[in-house]
Amino acid sequence: METVGNIVAFLEHHAPKAWQESYDNSGLLTGFLNQEVKGVLISLDCIETVIDEALALGCNMVVAHHPILFSGLKKLNGNNYIERTIIKAIKNDVALYAIHTNLDNVWHGVNFKLAEVLGLTPVQVLLPLQKTLKKLEVMVPESHAAAVRDALFDVGCGSIGLYSNCSFNLKGHGTFKARAGAKPFVGQIEADHIEPETKIELVFNANLQQQTETALKNAHPYQTPAYQIIDINNTQQLGSGLLAQLPKPIEEMTFLQLLKERLNVPCIRHTEPLNRPISTIALCGGAGSFLLPRAITLKAQAFVTADFKYHQFFDADGRILITDVGHYESEQFTKQLLYDLLKGKFNTFALHLSKVNTNPVKYFT
């Protein structure tokens, strides 16, 4: 039996809630973690028609990219689509889960999937998150160094890029005197003691600090382990947007045609063509105008995103081709991303891709 909690834990291992933006509301919005999952429906948005679809398919959980709730509700009277959706979900015991900007910000997330669809090779995050890493330094008796390292690795410490179980180890000698009332692992009360020790250093994601300290204290043999945790400024492939490369340069009109075909969009809003080949592209699924300065700084020739306002198009200033493909259109493949993630892990319940087109923007062509 799989529970809502199992699915939440798996998704948040891939895209921790700690990586969501401050304005966001990712996470479990309705339902209980111990609720048994009978079926999961995956959608970009969660609105009434999606709940209806879930019920028709026998699904009691909806995993959506966009949260239906961004702020608190003071009443639940069904006066708008948000209230009606929440009421319908609760009345029918449907758990609603949203995985929004935390999925945007992880490397193998929304923008990575968009790059894959467009046939691009990801290069780097456009705007990395800051202060996402910490370093642990701990002194351990040599006899227990391996056990402590393994306990820390098990909670995710020591991961650097595509490498795991990374640590630095330095042998030395620790000194201490156990005072009255102590229960020393080695040494005698009121006697100076010298113990061969290993200093272990490793990095971990800042959101894992509680788990890291718990694992350390549970595995460490000393009554009072000697350790310190240090903030470090190293950046990771974690943050907003993506810089990517085409296999070979193409002309601007060819690039616009590629976008239109791969994203199946009826139209693309864009700035004045610059009559130069396109090879380096900035991407941001959803509203990405805030990343324009960064895209220009990193020498992107084109920027694929959505929700640019009229006056913001002027900010291209002859330096980049802005292409606004539409919010829904830029994130439409997120459903497949989530489907593939869950399908690769769970096989005890039905998993469905929503067939409801939740795009509120329509085009007259």
DSSP, residue by residue, 185-223: SSS-BTSEEEEEEEEEEEEEEGGGHHHHHHHHHHH--SS
d(CA 299, CA 194): 57
Contact 39, 45 (CB under 8 A): no
Q: What is the pLDDT of residue 317?
A: 96
Same fold, 107-128+238-325 and 133-232: no
Q: What is the pLDDT of residue 72?
A: 82
Give the pLDDT confidence of 251-276 residue by residue, as tens digits: 999 999 999 999 999 999 999 999 99
Alpha carbon 101 to chain centroid distance?
A: 7
Q: What is the mean pLDDT of residues 235-248?
A: 94
Q: Residue 349: which of 53, 36, 63 has the closest Cα?
A: 36
Q: Which two tokens stand for residue 17?
A: 């809630």
Kindly report each contact of residues 68-75 with a partner whose C-beta sits within 8 Å and lies 24 or more positions away, as own/partner. Answer: 68/29, 68/96, 68/98, 69/25, 69/29, 70/23, 70/24, 70/25, 71/25
Q: Where are the domains of the chain?
A: 4-100+333-353, 107-128+238-325, 133-232
Q: What is the mean pLDDT of residues 304-330?
A: 98
d(CA 187, CA 185): 7
- Mean pLDDT score of the chain: 95
CA atoms within 13 A on the CB side of 82: 12
With a cut of 90, say whether residue 11 has pLDDT above it.
Answer: yes
- Assign residue 33 a region (left: φ > 0; alpha: ψ between -120 and 50; beta: otherwise): alpha
Contact 284, 305 (CB under 8 A): yes
Contact 195, 141 (CB under 8 A): yes
Q: What is the pLDDT of residue 326?
A: 97
Match 């995050």 to its residue by tokens: 125
Confidence (pTM): 0.88
With a cut of 80, say whether residue 166 has pLDDT above it.
Answer: yes
Strands 192-205 and 168-177: antiparallel
With a cut of 90, say whether residue 71 has pLDDT above it.
Answer: no
Give the pLDDT confidence of 275-296 residue by residue, as tens digits: 999 999 999 999 999 999 999 9
Percent of the chain with pLDDT over 70: 100
Q: Residue 103: which of 244, 210, 238 has the closest Cα?
A: 238
Q: What is the dihedral of CA 358, 360, 364, 365, to 10 degrees?
A: -50
Q: What is the pLDDT of residue 68?
A: 96
Give the pLDDT confidence of 108-159 residue by residue, as tens digits: 999 999 999 999 999 999 999 988 999 999 999 999 999 999 999 999 999 8
Q: Which two tokens stand for residue 184?
A: 């020393």
Give the pLDDT confidence of 336-365 residue by residue, as tens digits: 999 999 999 999 999 999 999 999 999 998
- CATH class, domain 4-100+333-353, is alpha beta
CATH assignment, 133-232: 3.30.70.120
Q: What is the pLDDT of residue 1?
A: 87
Record: fold of 107-128+238-325: 3.40.1390
